[in-house]
A and B are shown apart, each in its own frame.
Chain A
């Protein structure tokens, strides 16, 4: 929005966003619709959308005069016509948490608005009406980086309610940056699911014709409605092509690219399933089967006093002391290689463990399994009580420690939980595959 001098001028001219205005300056006149200006830019320019559709910014000086020549044009989004809903289709709920999997553009003002209702989804992605009977619900509207463990709890509660109502599948629309964390959290929180719970996002904003959102959504809804698995999974593009949506297991998935559509990868595991040409094909034999009779157990408490600490050359051990003194209950280390930290960390870590703080070890290599028996530092860390987290992703390790500490206060029980394979966060074998 406008601020400073420009704002004063606009107020004085009694114009509002959306009004058609004429700006005169140094012998030039400009006509167009007043467009909002992002707050991060300066307060010296007015932005208008000209009749040609182009926006330009006009700098303001002493000679600038503004007159209103047309009444406000507010972004309008005409009523959409959605295709006829087929009867007897599986019921799928789409929970939205933020990000936009669908949006609409008003070209007159350049406004973009998220499309959230089932009707809007049907009209934008008409194929959906032939796959499932969709209902939608807005849980909250947050950027992915603003989602906290409290939000995981809330999402888990929403899903639980829907499962109890007997829907055939649940979709969670989520910003992609932290979608992997939420997927891990729900994997631990929602045990013995009778139906699939699919997180879906997009890497290209949904206002553009090339967005990956519609095809991801079609894949996700198809899986929610028909897939034989009943687990928490992330549905995103398989490759940069628009024809395959792949399902990653919630505890084994990580965003590995900043911008590509196929940014998500299953780490140290196979993806569960692939949606292609309208068909879902399972990619593994080991999965929890969809079964109406399964009774969901929801364990959605998380403890936020846990940190993920990345060791690096020059790492200052005071950082560890800070966590200890601040009363953190758990630390997940992202060590080097097979699971190491500098030997000067051993003292502070021992102090932490002696105080009852849970310390888990993962590797910053991302791919592969840690093994703390190979080198002396590893052996010493094991000896003081650092818990080796096998081939678990660091992010999943963090979430699991938060979750375990949410379930029990007893350090021994926490340790047992951490070493138990709750939601396929560990794989027993390291299969030779591309990484």
Chain B
């Protein structure tokens, strides 16, 4: 990949970064903006109907879902959802805290806040919104993200409600949880940028940094999500939804470029073979009888359930299904994903893999004869009920036809490994109309002036300060900058005598290590951490004991830091007790001390430190040991 010339390929990337806000309330009601994991307090079912717009252009996927008779089950708890999320009450006034946060982000990005905000309804009928639309509003236009080598222009910044969480999909019932619905999100959308995948990721990271620096971002997995719009010349615009980590942006883009390039190669191959749409008009054929005694497990299982097997001939597609598109996907997988969306079938089998699935050479031969297969042709099999077989194979045929023109325009979902998967056809132009239940919100100049005072220091400036004023190395400074404790760090350094490096390492590396070990450090409050450092600073506990205290605090949510120090016996040993200890050790080791006078000091120091590590300071021990040795 490294040798790809992205400029030549014509790569264009648009980023849409969605950041959940850490607001007290949801965007259009007073519910807690938190997720729940316990059993729901209530459930209810709904159906969503494609909107009654210009029906000719209705969202094909949406209409399809509706026709399938999809029912949507919503789960909620009382603290996190009210009648507003249930679509049983009009929205309340927009949450001021979130509005201010979105405007502060806009000012940080040098965008131009709009004079009057109009909340819109963006039609979404996959069930993720009980209303059938998402409430969203542009709060500012323009702006830019300045990078060292280039500048990425911002298209707009909007404030919108998050969608409900999808829990499961079984047959015709979709289950969503209402808790996430209506949690405020800030969306930063860049203009399409001609850049390399790495540069796109840099922009995403910088936007993420600015969002975090605003001080109003929620933290944790799933609180920041990226959608990417990726296209290359001759390819098509593909929308990739839900990249969960900023660090995945470049690999997702690279993989998508690779996928589009491979699809263009397939197009070329098919053109070369002279395949045209008319060649792909064969009807699916019932071949159940041909495979009646097959050893192929998948088909045998289907036949036992009295299902049928249908085959579709695709002229000129021989070898195409097995072709790799990217490291982890093939054209066959691409088609299978499409089929799963349009038909309720588990999967497909194609010529390039039949033998691997236990179809014998004789069976394959018989198939070839039955379907009149020639050298360059392919066969796709589906084992299901008659109707589902036909639906599935029609989807296969459609996807094959699309391969003739290269890359289909579509919406794909990002997976954790950086690959993507077909999600649905790309919706047409955004279907938006005004949310008349929320009056327009005017943004006065004086209000903006007030907000300007709340703009936090830009991350690049803070980075400079961390490096120079606090003397942190670049790695630690970067970690502090991206940490949720970046403000606490400065407070601790200001209020205590503990060294900046120690504080920084503790707040970033120690926390991360504990998190990795499964310690739930989120519950520890900034006040408790401050208290901890004050005790260290006052010499009442050793810095080495800090992580033990932290662990204790996570296990005792109501506990105090002092209590932890006491319970864990981590308090500093008074000098008098150190003296007693040294006396005792001298007594126990008298022979050694007499024989090897030159090593005596080091030996005693070592013994004391080993026994009381975390409760004594080395310089005090050194002083006492020296004094005691003089007395020997």
Assess whether B131 is in contact with A106, with CB atoms less than 8 Å apart. Answer: no
| 23 contacting pairs across A/B (C-beta < 8 A) | A30-B141, A45-B440, A47-B116, A47-B118, A47-B440, A49-B432, A52-B155, A55-B118, A55-B432, A56-B116, A56-B138, A57-B440, A59-B116, A78-B55, A104-B52, A110-B432, A110-B434, A112-B433, A123-B52, A209-B125, A210-B46, A242-B47, A261-B88
- A103 interface residue, CB < 8 Å from B? yes
- A105 interface residue, CB < 8 Å from B? yes
- A241 interface residue, CB < 8 Å from B? yes
- B158 interface residue, CB < 8 Å from A? yes
CB-defined interface of A40-82 with B at 8 Å, one 1/0 digit per residue? 0110010101101111111100000000000000001110110
Nearest CB on A from B77, distance (A):
16
Residue of A nearest to B84 (CB): A259
Q: Which of A96-151 contact B (CB under 8 A)?
A: 102-107, 110-112, 115, 123-125
Assess whether B53 is in contact with A209, with CB atoms less than 8 Å apart. Answer: no
Nearest CB on A from B37, distance (A):
24
Q: Name the one of A57, A125, A209, A241 contacting B118, with C-beta atoms under 8 angstroms.
A: A57
Q: Which of B45-77 contact A (CB under 8 A)?
A: 45-56, 71
- A243 interface residue, CB < 8 Å from B? yes
Tally of B interface residues using CB under 8 Å: 52
- B167 interface residue, CB < 8 Å from A? no
Tally of A interface residues using CB under 8 Å: 54
Q: Which of B19-63 contact A (CB under 8 A)?
A: 44-56
Assess whether B88 is in contact with A206, with CB atoms less than 8 Å apart. Answer: no
Residue of A nearest to B432 (CB): A53
Assess whether B442 is in contact with A57, with CB atoms less than 8 Å apart. Answer: yes
Residues of B within 8 A of A383 (CB): none
Residue of B nearest to A78 (CB): B54
Residues of A within 8 A of B122 (CB): 53
- B299 interface residue, CB < 8 Å from A? no
| A204 to B87 alpha-carbon distance, docked (Å) | 8
Q: Name the one of B50, B123, B429, B434 contacting A55, with C-beta atoms under 8 angstroms.
A: B434
Which 8 A-B pairs have CB atoms at the shortest separation, nearest pair first? A209-B132, A57-B116, A53-B432, A53-B430, A59-B115, A55-B118, A110-B433, A54-B138
Q: Name the one of B120, B131, B137 contacting A210, with C-beta atoms under 8 angstroms.
A: B131
Nearest CB on A from B227, distance (A):
14
Assess whether A259 is in contact with B88, with CB atoms less than 8 Å apart. Answer: yes
Q: Name the one of B46, B48, B53, B115 contacting A57, with C-beta atoms under 8 angstroms.
A: B115
Residues of B within 8 A of A261 (CB): 88
Assess whether A55 is in contact with B120, with CB atoms less than 8 Å apart. Answer: yes
Residues of B within 8 A of A209 (CB): 48-51, 123, 125, 131-133
Assess whether A259 is in contact with B132, with CB atoms less than 8 Å apart. Answer: no
- B439 interface residue, CB < 8 Å from A? yes
- B130 interface residue, CB < 8 Å from A? yes
Assess whether A107 is in contact with B52, with CB atoms less than 8 Å apart. Answer: no
Residues of B within 8 A of A123 (CB): 52, 55
Assess whether A54 is in contact with B158, with CB atoms less than 8 Å apart. Answer: yes
Residues of B within 8 A of A76 (CB): 54
- B219 interface residue, CB < 8 Å from A? no
Question: 11 extra interchain contacts, Cβ-Cβ under 8 A, other than A208-B51, A209-B51?
Answer: A41-B440, A52-B138, A57-B114, A57-B118, A58-B116, A78-B54, A81-B55, A81-B56, A105-B433, A241-B45, A259-B83
- B522 interface residue, CB < 8 Å from A? no
Q: Name the one of B54, B120, B125, B132 contacting A106, with C-beta atoms under 8 angstroms.
A: B54
Q: Name the one of A50, A58, A207, A242 contacting B52, with C-beta atoms under 8 angstroms.
A: A207
**Known contacts A57-B440, A215-B47; A206/B118 CB under 8 A:** no
- B90 interface residue, CB < 8 Å from A? yes
Assess whether A105 is in contact with B117, with CB atoms less than 8 Å apart. Answer: no
| A111 to B132 alpha-carbon distance, docked (Å) | 17
Q: Work out how many contacts link A and B, with CB atoms closer than 8 A.
A: 147
- B112 interface residue, CB < 8 Å from A? yes
CB-defined interface of B115-150 with A at 8 Å, one 1/0 digit per residue? 111101111010000111100111001100000000
- B86 interface residue, CB < 8 Å from A? yes
Assess whether B52 is in contact with A102, with CB atoms less than 8 Å apart. Answer: yes
- A28 interface residue, CB < 8 Å from B? yes
| A78 to B54 alpha-carbon distance, docked (Å) | 6
| A52 to B155 alpha-carbon distance, docked (Å) | 10
Q: Which of B417-442 contact A (CB under 8 A)?
A: 429-434, 439-440, 442
Residues of A within 8 A of B45 (CB): 241-243
Q: Which residues of A contact B (CB under 8 A)?
A: 28, 30, 35, 41-42, 45, 47, 49-50, 52-59, 76-78, 80-81, 102-107, 110-112, 115, 123-125, 203-204, 206-211, 214-215, 239-243, 258-261
Q: Which residues of B contact A (CB under 8 A)?
A: 44-56, 71, 83, 86-90, 112, 114-118, 120-123, 125, 130-133, 136-138, 141-142, 155-156, 158, 429-434, 439-440, 442
| A176 to B120 alpha-carbon distance, docked (Å) | 25
| A58 to B114 alpha-carbon distance, docked (Å) | 7
Instruction: Count chain B CB atoms within 10 A of each CB in A49, A56, A105, A115 and give the residue with the most.
Output: A56
Residue of B nearest to A40 (CB): B439
Nearest CB on B from A212, distance (A):
9
| A208 to B51 alpha-carbon distance, docked (Å) | 6
Assess whether B87 is in contact with A210, with CB atoms less than 8 Å apart. Answer: yes
Assess whether A208 is in contact with B121, with CB atoms less than 8 Å apart. Answer: yes
Assess whether B51 is in contact with A105, with CB atoms less than 8 Å apart. Answer: yes
| A57 to B442 alpha-carbon distance, docked (Å) | 8
Q: Name the one of A54, A58, A239 contacting B44, with C-beta atoms under 8 angstroms.
A: A239
Assess whether B52 is in contact with A115, with CB atoms less than 8 Å apart. Answer: yes
| A228 to B96 alpha-carbon distance, docked (Å) | 54
| A118 to B108 alpha-carbon distance, docked (Å) | 54
Residue of B nearest to A59 (CB): B115
Assess whether A124 is in contact with B52, with CB atoms less than 8 Å apart. Answer: yes
Assess whether A214 is in contact with B49, with CB atoms less than 8 Å apart. Answer: yes
Residue of B nearest to A30 (CB): B141
Assess whether B53 is in contact with A106, with CB atoms less than 8 Å apart. Answer: yes
Residue of B nearest to A27 (CB): B112
Nearest CB on A from B89, distance (A):
4
Assess whether B46 is in contact with A241, with CB atoms less than 8 Å apart. Answer: yes
Assess whether A52 is in contact with B156, with CB atoms less than 8 Å apart. Answer: yes
| A55 to B116 alpha-carbon distance, docked (Å) | 9
Nearest CB on B from A78, distance (A):
5
Residues of B within 8 A of A81 (CB): 55-56
| A384 to B115 alpha-carbon distance, docked (Å) | 65
| A115 to B54 alpha-carbon distance, docked (Å) | 12
Nearest CB on A from B524, distance (A):
40
Assess whether B132 is in contact with A208, with CB atoms less than 8 Å apart. Answer: yes
| A42 to B442 alpha-carbon distance, docked (Å) | 10
Residue of A nearest to B43 (CB): A241
Residues of A within 8 A of B52 (CB): 102-105, 115, 123-124, 206-207
Nearest CB on B from A53, distance (A):
4
Assess whether B431 is in contact with A53, with CB atoms less than 8 Å apart. Answer: yes
Residue of A nearest to B67 (CB): A126
Nearest CB on A from B132, distance (A):
3
Residues of A within 8 A of B83 (CB): 259-260
Residues of B within 8 A of A107 (CB): 53, 123, 429-433
Residues of A within 8 A of B112 (CB): 28
Assess whether A210 is in contact with B132, with CB atoms less than 8 Å apart. Answer: yes
Residues of B within 8 A of A211 (CB): 49
Residues of B within 8 A of A80 (CB): 55
| A124 to B63 alpha-carbon distance, docked (Å) | 11
Residue of A nearest to B88 (CB): A260
| A239 to B112 alpha-carbon distance, docked (Å) | 46
**Known contacts A55-B434, A112-B433, A206-B52; A259/B116 CB under 8 A:** no
Residues of B within 8 A of A45 (CB): 115-116, 440, 442
Assess whether B430 is in contact with A105, with CB atoms less than 8 Å apart. Answer: no
Q: Name the one of B46, B88, B115, B156 contacting A54, with C-beta atoms under 8 angstroms.
A: B156
Residues of A within 8 A of B440 (CB): 41, 45, 47, 57
Assess whether A52 is in contact with B88, with CB atoms less than 8 Å apart. Answer: no
Assess whether A56 is in contact with B118, with CB atoms less than 8 Å apart. Answer: yes
Assess whether B87 is in contact with A56, with CB atoms less than 8 Å apart. Answer: no
| A203 to B86 alpha-carbon distance, docked (Å) | 13
Residues of A within 8 A of B90 (CB): 259
Instruction: Count chain B CB atoms within 10 A of each CB in A57, A112, A210, A214 and give the residue with the most.
Output: A210
